[in-house]
Amino acid sequence: DWYVESLRAIGTKAEEHDVRFVEDDWESPTLGAWGLGWQVWLDGQEVSQFTYFQQIGGLDCKPVTGELTYGLERICMYLQDADSMYDMAWAPGITYGEICKRAEWEWSTYNFEEADVKAHFAAFDHAESEAKRLLARGGDGDKRDPMLVLAAPAYDFVCKAAHAFNVLDARGAIGVTERARFIGRVRGLAKGVAEAYYAQRKAMGFPLLKTDAAVAAE
């Protein structure tokens, strides 16, 4: 009900459209993340996605984390009665296409045709190496100190590795068997970051969680 009200709040009258909730579970193999969810269709086109995350970085979510995403361009197409997102008004007298279409074509050409395969393989290896190095700062075994791990920079390098993989995949430079191996490498990094960050927060006593006493005092 809240979601339908949110559509009304931005000017989309739900009663004038065919609004459907279609089961669509979400998964990101490279990040070891998945969740149960639904797409929201407006007149047959997906405009939103509900996801209740069960795992992130290979760790169980406790509690389950909810996410609601809005496809702003698609919703805007309905509000402006545009047949294409490129026809939407960006500003008075200026269309979305005039601002973004050329850049989208250039990036598509780069990603599918021009990206340097050798350089992106090297970029992947470097990002993977840096992420592992930053995660290893805390040591091993019983002597491991989670507060020495640089989890945030390590996560940045996980994202860079994932991006390099996506470009290589778009270029057709990775075979089916090799693709599964690369996904496993990124997922392993993501799991390492998730475990390191969780260990840090635990060592700090989960400072953002309110204690029962604090809640009672309020």
- Token pair 């949110």 is at which residue? 6
Render pLDDT for 96-112 as a digit per residue (tens, 0 to 9): 999 999 999 999 999 99
Domain ranges for the chain: 1-91, 116-204
Q: What pLDDT score was predicted for residue 1?
A: 84
Confidence band (pLDDT; 50, 70, 90) for 14?
confident
Q: With contact defined as beta carbons under 8 Å apart, do 90 and 99 qualify?
A: yes
In CATH, which superfamily holds the domain spanning 116-204? Answer: Class II aaRS and biotin synthetases; domain 2 (1.20.58.180)
Fold classified for 1-91:
BirA Bifunctional Protein; domain 2 (3.30.930)
Look at residues 96, 102, 41, 98 and name the one whose alpha carbon lies nearest to residue 73.
Answer: 96
- Calculate what percentage of the chain has a pLDDT beyond 90: 81
pLDDT for 160 beyond 80: yes
Q: What pLDDT score was predicted for residue 144?
A: 86
Average confidence score pLDDT of the chain = 92
83: phi then psi, degrees, rounded to nearest 5:
-85, -20
How much is the pTM? 0.86
| Average pLDDT estimate for 183-192 | 96
Q: What pLDDT score was predicted for residue 15?
A: 82
Q: What pLDDT score was predicted for residue 218?
A: 45
**And the tokens for 76?**
């805007």
pLDDT for 82 beyond 50: yes
Render pLDDT for 116-142 as a digit per residue (tens, 0 to 9): 999 999 999 999 999 999 999 988 877
Domains 1-91 and 116-204 share a fold: no
CA distance 39 to 48: 6
